[in-house]
Amino acid sequence: MFVGRLLQGLATAAQLAEEAEALNARQGLLQGLDARVKLVSMLVLIVAGVQTHSSSALASLLVMAFVLALVSRLYTMPVLRRLWVGILLVAAVMALPALFLVPGGIAGRLPMIGWSITEPGLRSAAFLFGRAAASSTFSMSLLATTPWPHVLKAMRCLGVPAVLVAVLGMAQRYIFLLLQTAMELVEARRSRILGPLGAPGRRHMATSAAGALFERSFFLACEVHLAMVSRGYRGDVRLLDDFHMRRRDWLAACFVVVVALIASIGVGR
């Protein structure tokens, strides 16, 4: 049971990462835009959503995020579905108690139990949920429609140090490898278990698997280093940059700036 859950968790993570990578090959509005425009737009829209104090501006941004996900054909994407489920769960934990705990005028009462829902609580919970949902949908929509190497190149164009971009790119690749290794480790152990494991046995198994993975990671790092050096790596990272802005990219950039400005005007209302 425990081993099955552990395996399932690892497999789901691997599957989600693979699906996210496969999705950027689909045809859609966001898939056709320049990676740099998408990255900057994502940051601008997220900041606009976080800083706005206007509920109507926030609602508009949320609708825009959903429409972008829709026209980019991301609605079938399991990552996005899981993201929204996650947002709802976090909102349930963080935002729902605010309905009753934030003091203020009473907006209504819960039937049966009679708990009072306050007006500031309602507004506060709506802000919390709206901001989290809009920001997550923007970031996921824009990144899921961009091949990972393009995201890295766009980061480099925006001034992120080359070393960090290289580490980020390699780390993403090794996540797949280590997830696969972890699954094989747990699967191998499962095939050698005859009966149910007690709690100490399960702990021992999980920490041993993590330990084995740690050792393999260490050796992998040494091997990768040797391979890189043998191919001429001397500590300086160089990345190619061949992006070209087209008319639709400029249009998208202008549109995002206008949206962000409108959301900013709503600040304080």
Partner 1 sequence: MHIPDGYLSPITCVATYAAVMPFWVVALRRLKRVLHTRMVPLLAVFSAFSFVVMMFNLPLPGGTSGHAVGVAIASIVLGKWAAMVAISIALLIQALFFGDGGITTFAANCLNMAVAGSFVASWTFASIAGKTRAGEARRLFAAGLAGYLALNVSALLTAVEFGIQPIFFHDAAGTPLYAPYGLSVAVPAMMIGHLAVAGLAELVLTAGLFAYLLRTQSDALTCAAMVEVSAPACGTKPIARLWYGLGAVVAATPLGLLAEGTAWGEWSVQDFIDDASRLEILRVSDGTALPDAVPAGLRRLSEAWTAPWADYAPSFLHNLSLGYVLSAIVGVGLTLTAWYLIARLLRAVTAARPIERL
| Residues in region 52-111 near partner 1 by CB under 8 A | 53, 79, 82-83, 86-87, 90, 94-95, 97-98, 101-104
Q: For partner 1, how many residues bind (rule: CB under 8 A)?
A: 93
Of the candidate spans 27-35, 67-75, 156-164, 245-253, the one that interacts with partner 1 by CB under 8 A turns out to be 156-164
Hey, which residues between 106 and 145 contact partner 1 (CB under 8 A)? 119-121, 123-125, 127-128, 130-132, 134-136, 139-140, 143
How many beta carbons lie within 10 A of that of residue 223, not counting itself? 10
State the number of CA atoms in the 13 A half-sphere of 199 facing the CB: 0
For residues 54 and 62, what is the distance between their CA atoms, to the nearest angstrom? 12
Q: Report if residue 254 touches partner 1, rule: CB under 8 A.
A: no
Q: What is the DSSP letter of 258?
A: H
We find the least distance from the C-beta atom of residue 29 to partner 1, in angstroms, to be 20
Of the candidate spans 3-11, 64-72, 187-195, 242-250, the one that interacts with partner 1 by CB under 8 A turns out to be 3-11
Residues 6 or more apart from 107 whose CB is under 8 A from it?
117, 118, 119, 121, 122
* 3-class secondary structure, 231: coil
Q: Dump strand ranges (E) for the chain.
A: 106-109, 116-118
Q: What is the dihedral of CA 154, 59, 66, 124, to 10 degrees?
A: 80
We find the least distance from the C-beta atom of residue 247 to partner 1, in angstroms, to be 28
Do strands 116-118 and 106-109 pair parallel, antiparallel, or not at all (unpaired)? antiparallel
We find the least distance from the C-beta atom of residue 80 to partner 1, in angstroms, to be 9
- Report the 3 state secondary structure along 90-106: HHHHHCHHHHHHCCCCE
C-beta of 33 vs 95, nearer to partner 1: 95
We find the least distance from the C-beta atom of residue 85 to partner 1, in angstroms, to be 11
Hey, which residues between 165 and 224 contact partner 1 (CB under 8 A)? 166-175, 177-179, 182, 199, 202-204, 206-215, 217-221, 224
C-beta of 220 vs 262, nearer to partner 1: 220
C-beta of 63 vs 177, nearer to partner 1: 177
* 3-class secondary structure, 109: strand
C-beta of 37 vs 83, nearer to partner 1: 83
CB 117 within 8 A of CB 106: yes
Q: Report if residue 29 touches partner 1, rule: CB under 8 A.
A: no
We find the least distance from the C-beta atom of residue 10 to partner 1, in angstroms, to be 5
